[in-house]
Amino acid sequence: MAKLTQDELLAQFEEMTLIELSEFVKAFEDKFDVEAAAAAPVVVAGAAGGAAAEAVEEQDEFDVVLTGAGDKKIQVIKVVRELTSLGLKEAKDLVDGTPKPVLEKVAKDAAAKAKEQLEAAGAAVEVK
């Protein structure tokens, strides 16, 4: 059996899924009676860079957080009412109690549109 170089081993690890890598680490620990403590996760994370990137999902839900009402508080309250269907008192309380989320778990385009409307009314907004 030919001996693999370190680069060849790393190339093999890059093709493995995270589950396959986890099973390999367990088998390695059993075979050589060792415990992969701090060093193994670093190696696994480095070797599985491509697989780890695939496992991370793109964020698809955003929160629109009002961080300040600005000078045109009444305009901001009107926009908050349009976006949330809150009553006048509830919208005013939300604007007065900043920072508060206006919309939670909305799509990226809806969050961007809400941010644009609130900023046009003079509010300070964050999208998380």
Alpha carbon separation from 80 to 24, 65, 69, 71, 100 (Å, rounded): 53, 11, 11, 15, 11
For the chain, what's the residue count?
128
Average the pLDDT over each of 23-37, 56-70, 104-118 and give the range with the smallest value: 56-70
Q: What is the structure's pLDDT at 40?
A: 46
Helix, strand, coil percentages, rounded to 5, for the chain: 60, 15, 30
* 89 to 32, 101, 114, 118: CA distances (angstroms): 68, 16, 20, 18
Alpha carbon separation from 6 to 9, 12, 24, 114 (Å, rounded): 5, 10, 16, 51
Tell me which of 7-16, 34-43, 67-76, 102-111 is least confident.
Answer: 34-43
Q: What is the pTM of this model?
A: 0.52
